[in-house]
Amino acid sequence: MTEIRDQIIAYLQGHAKGKRKINNIADELKMNSEKDTASLKKELDAMEAEHQLFHTSENQYETREQAGVFEGRISMNRAGMGFLDREDQDSIRIESKEQNTALDGDTVLVQCQPWEAYGRVIAVLQRNKDHVIGTFVNGAQGLAFQPDDAKLQGRLIKIICGKDFTPIEGMKVLCSIVRYGTPLQLKVDQTIGYKDDPGVDITSILLDHDIEAAFPAEVMAQVHDIPQEVPEKDLAGRTDLTKDITVTIDGDDSKDFDDAVSVVKNDKGWVLKVSIADVSHYVTWNSPLDLEARKRGCSTYVTDRVVPMLPHELSNGICSLNPHVVRLTLTAEMQINKAGEVRDYKIYPSYIRSTERMTYNNVNKILDGDEELQKKYSNLGTMLSDLADCADSIRRERKAKGAIDFASTEAEIKVDEKGHPIDIEPKERGHAEEMIEDCMIAANVTVANFLKWQEIPAIYRIHEEPSAKRIKNFVNMSEQMGHKLVIGKSDIYPNELQRYLESVKDTDEYQVLSMMMLRCMQKARYDSHCVGHFGLAEEEYLHFTSPIRRYPDLVVHRMLRKYSFEQCTDAEERKNDEQLCQQYADQSSVRERESSDAEFACDDMKKAEYMQDHIGEKGEGIITGVTGYGFYVELPNTVEGLVRLSEMHDDYYAYNPDRMELVGQRSKRTYRMGMKVNVIVLAANKEDSTIDFGLRGKNGKVFANHKDPRDKRDARRKQRRNVKEGRKRDGRRKRH
């Protein structure tokens, strides 16, 4: 904003209504000449056009705050009601007639006076999407287009098809939005396939989030010019770590290895080396590879496939730290004392030769005393036990600082060759998974500390403290469940929340309380300014350890090379890179959100598809959410379904929003967060990704994860049904 704009805003903020006309502003700024007044009027008009100021009917000017205008992302429910969240205030409700062409996820300006609960969209600043995916279906008046997004299914839509395009029932297409408003005008751009073809369901979700599997031709041309072996000349200027015992530790199905660790015990504690694939050596700035990686932002992992940020020829080839071959790396070498603190460190370009490709499963077994595996990997000596001791000390130190360990369970969805889900179970985390996490966090903190204090441009991973309103709501809900959280009157500290979670860890409500607290947190994001990471209780944090999968890590590697290894001192270059880092941070945050949304959408869809085969089965679950229309129940296998109020026929239940509970008016029977209930599967819909449960008596058996034997007759019936419907099943395999 220019200096005159700052002065205008400052004047308006300091003067009451009635003294905000153009002549008042002109007098204050001493712009009373004809020329100055014309210039002021031009500036005011520009600020009004940019929605910085608002001109009232009394010829007064107002700032956004004075006009009751809020900026944010509008979210809409399936009934068409819009909501705009405000920090420490109630959400603004926006009826469909007041939404002014806005769609779910758009960034909008909403006007709502302090005494009002409902607002209106006065401008759409940024569109969330420019396309719609849907299917042609038979309707009452012939073939009709049905959007996949349930929030668009009630809107009037006009479809424009090319002359050579013939819509067919069941055909799924990608359409661009030609015109927003009513009707919403769409143009068919691409045929995805038929909705029942294997894999089309996942592909549709990915495309809906702008995630394209195929790489452009110019990208692949660059990849083909990159050698798949490291030439001798590329080793110059790098530290030789090929004599170190170094291992990668990943999942059984992993194929891209971008981090390796080695550790040596000494009198002070341990020397821990975290070596990360030097992707920046191959993906040069503004090359086709770099532009495509920047556009993607990160890799996306869904049930049956991975959409990588970089082509597999790189991510699984020359950039992957495969065993027994030389690879280029950047290393964070840390002296860890016995208390788990990083007492000294250095960061440098290096090259390694991974000694072994280890898996989490095997490392866990070795640490548990598996003699056969210990003998097989005897060449590693005491490296794994030393690594465990080192990582455990790091974790204890992190916990002492207040790092919050949220209990979250990730689902592992197994599918058959057609992509149809055949089993769902919680993914287990063992000691090995925690060890690698601890080592990577230590490296990320170390590099962040180095870049911050060297004032090198970077992209930081920031996590701001939760709002007072959200924490207050959590405190109230927690007390209703019998657990008191005591926090300070002013600032909120992570160690307060950590101690609380520790105090409830052995209770039945722990999983729900942890999930509820996680929902109170701000979303972590990327930024060029280092403001700390609340959840990790760290003042400096960034992502350094996964440049194959995340663009911000790649940028961090480039900045290290440019300003630390190559000693760039150009002040103009530094200023330009600072601006670029903020630009890349914003873009990466958006792409990360899209990738995460796609992963959740695929999981939800596959869980609903799985439950379609389990209608009528009983289970015990825990209530994870209570609303005015029912409550959500999560089963032990992570599947979540809704018990609708309309299906609760034993009483009339009233919703108490303050206590977040449903109470029977006659029986006083109460349903609240954290309660265990017995349910039966009533319905499941893959298309809408919905699952409906009904309540059962206390004798209902716990839902099985298909590890317990089931009735053979039912199994045969399901098998026959699956064979008949086999061609209709779509899906994927879960990522490593």
According to the per-residue pLDDT averaged within each range, which of 14-23, 57-66, 142-151, 263-272 is highest? Answer: 263-272
- Radius of gyration, alpha carbons of the chain: 29
| b/e sequence 493-516, b meaning 16+ C-beta within 10 Å | ebebbbebbeebeeeebbbbbbbb
More confident residue, 375 or 734: 375
On whether the CB atoms of residues 292 and 215 are closer than 8 A, the answer is: yes
Least confident of 227-236, 348-357, 428-437, 718-727: 718-727
User: What CA dihedral angle connects 311, 596, 706 and 431, to 10 degrees?
Assistant: 80
pLDDT in tens, 87-119: 778 899 999 999 999 999 999 999 999 899 999
pLDDT in tens, 308-338: 999 999 999 999 999 999 999 999 999 999 9
What pLDDT, on the 0 to 100 scale, is given for residue 657?
Answer: 84
pLDDT in tens, 182-196: 999 999 999 999 999
On whether the CB atoms of residues 517 and 485 are closer than 8 A, the answer is: no
Task: Using the predicted structure, report yes or no on whether residue 459 has a pLDDT greater than 80.
Answer: yes
What pLDDT, on the 0 to 100 scale, is given for residue 599?
Answer: 96
Task: Using the predicted structure, report yes or no on whether residue 727 has a pLDDT greater than 60.
Answer: no
Two tokens at 281? 């050596």
Q: Quick check: helix, strand or coil at residue 279?
A: helix
CB-count exposure of residue 246 (10 Å: 0-12, 13-18, 19+): buried
Two tokens at 39? 């210039």
Q: Where residue 716 falls among pLDDT bands split at 50, 70, 90?
A: very low
Q: What is the reported pTM?
A: 0.87
| Number of residues in the chain | 736
Least confident of 561-575, 662-676, 708-722: 708-722
Two tokens at 354? 């991974």
Q: Where residue 722 falls among pLDDT bands split at 50, 70, 90?
A: very low
Task: Using the predicted structure, report yes or no on whether residue 210 has a pLDDT greater than 90.
Answer: yes
What pLDDT, on the 0 to 100 scale, is given for residue 489?
Answer: 67
Q: Where residue 713 falls among pLDDT bands split at 50, 70, 90?
A: very low
On whether the CB atoms of residues 157 and 184 are closer than 8 A, the answer is: yes
Can you list the pairs that 141-149 forms with residues at least 24 positions away whose Cβ atoms lie under 8 Å?
143/167, 143/169, 145/175, 145/186, 148/172, 148/204, 148/208, 148/687, 149/104, 149/208
Mean pLDDT across the chain, nearest whole number? Answer: 90
Pairing of strands 107-111, 142-147: unpaired
Least confident of 64-73, 209-218, 467-476: 467-476
Q: Where residue 460 falls among pLDDT bands split at 50, 70, 90?
A: very high
What pLDDT, on the 0 to 100 scale, is given for residue 440?
Answer: 98
On whether the CB atoms of residues 74 and 102 are closer than 8 A, the answer is: yes
Handedness of CA 216, 217, 218, 220 (dihedral sign): positive
Helix (H) and strand (E) counts in the chain = 18, 33
Two tokens at 403? 């790092």
In angstroms, the CA 611 to CA 684 distance is: 6
On whether the CB atoms of residues 587 and 523 are closer than 8 A, the answer is: no
Q: Where residue 697 falls among pLDDT bands split at 50, 70, 90?
A: low
In angstroms, the CA 582 to CA 309 distance is: 20
In angstroms, the CA 325 to CA 305 distance is: 27
In angstroms, the CA 272 to CA 169 distance is: 60
Q: Where residue 734 falls among pLDDT bands split at 50, 70, 90?
A: very low
In angstroms, the CA 572 to CA 132 distance is: 43
pLDDT in tens, 632-661: 999 999 999 999 999 898 899 999 887 888
Enumerate the H helices of 111-244 as residue ranges. 200-208, 217-224
On whether the CB atoms of residues 556 and 276 are closer than 8 A, the answer is: no
Domains of the chain: 3-65 (1.10.10), 68-126 (2.40.50.140), 131-195 (2.40.50.640), 217-461+533-600 (no CATH), 465-521 (no CATH), 605-728 (2.40.50.140)
Q: Which residues contact 727 (CB under 8 A, 6 or more apart)?
A: 196, 418
CB-count exposure of residue 695 (10 Å: 0-12, 13-18, 19+): middle
Average of pLDDT values for 573-595? 96
Task: Using the predicted structure, report yes or no on whether residue 689 has a pLDDT greater than 70.
Answer: yes
On whether the CB atoms of residues 230 and 326 are closer than 8 A, the answer is: yes
Task: Using the predicted structure, report yes or no on whether residue 546 has a pLDDT greater than 80.
Answer: yes
Name the β-bridge partners of 305.
302
In order of 137, 140, 162, 692, the CA distances from 145 in angstroms are 6, 12, 15, 26
Closest CA to 57 of 21, 28, 8: 21
Task: Using the predicted structure, report yes or no on whether residue 724 has a pLDDT greater than 80.
Answer: no
What pLDDT, on the 0 to 100 scale, is given for residue 40?
Answer: 92
Residue 32, sorted as left (phi over 0), alpha (psi -120 to 50) or beta, turns out to be: alpha
Task: Using the predicted structure, report yes or no on whether residue 718 has a pLDDT greater than 60.
Answer: no
What is the per-residue DSSP string for 640-671?
A: EEEEEGGG-TTS-EEEETTTTEEEETTT--EE
pLDDT in tens, 587-629: 999 999 999 999 999 999 999 999 999 999 999 999 999 999 9
Helix %, strand %, coil % for the chain, to 5? 35, 30, 35
Two tokens at 105? 């996820």
Query: For residue 603, what is the DSSP state?
Result: H
Average of pLDDT values for 356-362? 97
Residue at 532: amino acid letter? G
More confident residue, 140 or 403: 403
Q: Quick check: helix, strand or coil at residue 67?
A: helix
Q: Where residue 536 falls among pLDDT bands split at 50, 70, 90?
A: very high
Residue 472 CB neighbour total at 10 angstroms: 13
What pLDDT, on the 0 to 100 scale, is given for residue 323?
Answer: 96
pLDDT in tens, 269-279: 999 999 999 99
Task: Using the predicted structure, report yes or no on whether residue 708 has a pLDDT greater than 70.
Answer: no
Task: Using the predicted structure, report yes or no on whether residue 556 has a pLDDT greater than 50.
Answer: yes
What pLDDT, on the 0 to 100 scale, is given for residue 409?
Answer: 78
Residue 435 CB neighbour total at 10 angstroms: 25
Q: Where residue 506 falls among pLDDT bands split at 50, 70, 90?
A: confident
Question: HEC states along 141-179?
Answer: CEEEEEECCHHHCCCCEEEECCCCCCCCCCEEEEEEEEE
Q: Which residues contact 58 (CB under 8 A, 6 or more apart)?
A: none
On whether the CB atoms of residues 403 and 537 are closer than 8 A, the answer is: yes
